[in-house]
Each structure stands twice: as C-alpha cells, then as structure tokens.
Amino acid sequence: MAYSSYRNVHSKKTNTIRKHDAYIEGNTVRKLNVVEEIQNPLDAKQLSHSTRKNRDKALYMNLGYVLFLVAALVSAAIILISYIRIQSEIIISVRNIASMERELNDLKLSNDEDYARAASSVDLEEIRRVAIGELGMRYAKEGQIINVSGEGNDYVRQLAEIRE
C-alpha cells in the first residue's frame, strides 16, 4: 500500500512555503525523530513586552468589572426564578381549568340524564285528566287568547281582571 502526504513547511529565512512529498512503501511506517522535534520546536516565539503586558492586563479583573458581573448574574438569576415561578403558576392554572372542565362536563351529563328521566316519567294524559276532571280546567276558546308583545321587557303587568 502506498501513502502520499503533503506537508507545508515554513521557511523563516525566505518567508516562503514549500511542499514536500512523502511516500511510504510497505506495511510498516517509519518512525519520525520525535525527540529532536520536541527539543527544537519551530514555533517557539519570544513574546514582546507589550504583548505580555496586554495579556496580563486582560487577565486582571478590577472591582468595577467584578461588580458588573455580579449584578449581571443576580439579575439573570432573578429573571430565571421569575420565569420558572410564572411557568409553574401557568401549569397549575391549566390543571385547575382542566379539573373544572371535567366537573362541568360531569354536571352537564348528570343534568341531561335527570332531565331525560323526569321527561320520561311525566304522563301527559294523566295531567290532562286531572286538570280537566278534578280541577275544572278547560281548553281556551277563540276569543280568550290574548297576545301581548313584550317589547324587550322581561315581564308583563296585568292592570285589569281577565273575564271569560
């Protein structure tokens, strides 16, 4: 199996980049001289005084910056706690509404069942027989029916006796 790799090598003297081709044959890979590369690193740089000064200044935190960070942390904590509290109140309200809706549906079902039972238990022929036979009621005649318009009022006042 053949392997080819390209490696960029930076030359400090000429400030150019050149590529080397490495070709490996066979079933083993040759070991590089690792100890020599560790002892003589190519990228070892000496930091200038201003660079070290800027890095040290960036790492230093003064009292104002610390107070700003503490205030930001406290405000974030207050906002998050308020958000969680509001979310829990919403969840409790939704659960309460769901239980009230279940109770309303149960009451409606019970009411409908009671109404159906009451409506089926009433014998209209027996009511008619008692009203006409025992109480002396009779059907209204043609001139006895009076239609009154309510004109938006909830009740009608009777000002005179109704005669037969």
The angle subtended at Cα 127 by Cα 124 and Cα 130, nearest 5°, is: 150
Could you report the per-residue pLDDT of 115-158, keeping only the tens digit for each?
999 888 888 888 889 999 999 888 888 877 777 776 665 676 77
- pLDDT of residue 1 exceeding 50, the answer is no
pTM score, two decimals? 0.41
Contacts of 147 (CB under 8 A, 6+ apart): none
User: 147 vs 36, 152, 156, 159, 160, CA distance in Å?
Assistant: 118, 15, 11, 15, 15
Which ranges constitute the DSSP H helices of the chain? 34-39, 49-59, 63-121, 124-129
Could you report the per-residue pLDDT of 27-71, keeping only the tens digit for each?
666 666 656 555 555 444 567 888 878 877 777 778 888 899 999
